[in-house]
Structure 1
């Protein structure tokens, strides 16, 4: 099963050094039965894009948490696409995030298929979105608009052999 895992560049560097994404359990996003039912008209590619987008939203929250913890993380959303055995994935019942899954095992870097990362042109919008998250969560429509502005940027696709260049 293809899963999309939210990440940040510092967390990706840590995973590369450790040789795996972990420790388990991990939260990811995938084409779940609930997502298929909710998005009935979509094909597999569209559904995978929805899961990728949900993971990018979670990456934005990870960036906010890093900032709150004093971690210097470049303001770029990161999503790791990996192939994992179906047996290690369980889908949740969260109606807000129908594609959310829980992974029971750490994921070896050898199972990573690609990495999706914001282009440098998205940095200002990602910074603004991270700053606006608390107000957006409190219901501020203008802040929600700012958070949505980060999603206007497509994540760039990187092959696994390009990861060292991303981190360099």
Structure 2
């Protein structure tokens, strides 16, 4: 099963150093039966895009958590969403029944670097919008329409595709 895993650039560096994404359990996003039923008119490519978008949203939350842990000032974590795409055995994936998170899955084992298919990362030019979205996330969670608009601005940026061989270049 193709799974989209949220990450950050420092997290990706840790994955490379460890040789795997883990420890399990891991939260990811995939084309699940619930997603297919909900988005019945979508083809496989569209459904995979939905799953990747959900992973990018989760990456934004990871960035917000890192920013908060770093004290909120001069954050060391680059403001770029990262989604790691992996091909994992179906037996390692548990699909939930959460209606609000139709694409969410749980991986029961770490993901080896050899299972990675690609990585998707924000262009550095998106950083100001990503930083604004990180700052707006708490207000958006409380229903603030202006903050949600700021999140939409971040989501308007398409993630760039990188082959697994290019991962070291992303970490420079």
TM-score tier (shorter): over 0.9
1:101 aligns with 2:105: yes
Q: Which residue of 2 aligns with 1:85?
A: 89
Distance in 1 between the 2:99 and 2:157 partners?
Answer: 25
Correspondence for 2:59: 59
- CA RMSD of superposed structures (Å): 0.7
How far is 1:167 from its partner?
Answer: 0.2
Offset of 1:114 from its aligned partner? Answer: 0.2
Give me the whole-angstrom Cα distance separating, in 2, the residues matched to 1:14 and 1:69.
17
Shift of residue 97, structure 1, vs aligned partner:
1.4
Moved more, 85-94 or 152-161: 85-94
Q: How does 1:2-151 map to 2 (within 5 A)?
A: 2-70=2-70, 72-151=76-155
What does the per-residue CA deviation read over 1:119-158, in whole Å, with 9 as the maximum and x for residues that have no partner? 0121110000000000000110000010111100000000
TM-score, normalising length: structure 2: 0.96
Q: When the two structures are aligned, how many residues end up with a matched partner?
A: 168
**Can you give the 5+ residue segments of structure 1 that lack an aligned partner in the other structure?**
none
2:100 aligned counterpart, secondary structure: coil
Find the aligned partners of 2:8 and 2:85 in 1 and give their Cα distance.
13
Report SS of the residue matched to 1:73. coil
Q: 1:87-109 deviations in whole A, cap 9, x for unaligned?
A: 01011122111000000000001
Which ranges of 4 or more aligned residues in structure 1 deviate by more than 3 Å?
Answer: none
Give how far 1:57 is off. 0.2
After superposition, the C-alpha distances for 1:64-104 in whole angstroms (9 at most, x for unaligned) are 00011116210000000000000010111221110000000
CA distance in 1, matches of 2:123, 2:154: 11
